[in-house]
Amino acid sequence: MVAGVAGALRRYLQDNNTPIKDLNLKVSMPVNVRDKGIVPKPGNEFGVVSLSLPIHIEDPILRIKEVKRRNDKIKASCEASMSYQLLKSMGAFPSDIGKKTINYFANKGTAVFSNVPGPQKSMSFAGQEISNMMFWVPRSGNTGMGISILSYAGKVILGLVTDEGL
């Protein structure tokens, strides 16, 4: 999915005459830091990592392989756990320090990207089938783009929100 979005962004940039030679688009991406195999408790436990999307790679297969390589490298590192601990500790600081810290990290990327696996079977609410689900990635700082992907009942739903200037 990430490589597909990188390809779509590549096409958009090319269509708008933006040079893409050697272009890597930096995105912030939440990563689950819960221990596998443990029943999760309510709430979020994630760290935020920075992933560079290889916009410059034209071949879709090579782009998929490169995104996987970069993603695997990040997930094997301690970056997600460290950012989780930092985010968790922000509650102990005055709010202006927390905001400045979050904005500092948020401004390091062009976009926020989140890929959430949803229920694989159709669900209902008050007796009515839920045909679609969606969420929007929260953006902070000067992050200009939010990309959200949700899988639900055999479908994949993509959401894109951008600043007007993009």
Query: DSSP per residue over 14-49, as a string?
Result: HHTT---TT--EEEEEEEE-SPTTSPPPSS--EEEE
Nearest-angstrom CA–CA distance, 3 and 70: 11
How much is the average pLDDT of 57-71?
A: 96
Confidence of residue 150 (pLDDT cuts 50, 70, 90): very high
pLDDT tens digits for range 89-138:
887 888 888 778 777 777 777 888 998 889 999 999 999 999 999 999 88
| pLDDT at res. 86 | 85
Domain carrying residue 29: 2-162
Q: Are 83 and 104 in contact (CB under 8 A)?
A: no
pLDDT tens digits for range 2-44:
999 999 999 999 999 988 888 888 998 888 888 777 776 777 7
| pLDDT at res. 4 | 92
- The alpha carbon of residue 58 and the mean position of all alpha carbons in its chain are separated, in whole angstroms, by 22
Can you give the C-alpha Rg of the chain in angstroms?
Answer: 17
Higher pLDDT pick, 119 / 142: 119
Look at the chain and report how many structural domains it folds into: 1
| pLDDT at res. 64 | 97
Nearest-angstrom CA–CA distance, 48 and 8: 23
* H runs (alpha helix) in the chain: 2-15, 60-76, 79-89, 95-106
pTM of the model: 0.79
Q: Are 31 and 46 in contact (CB under 8 A)?
A: yes
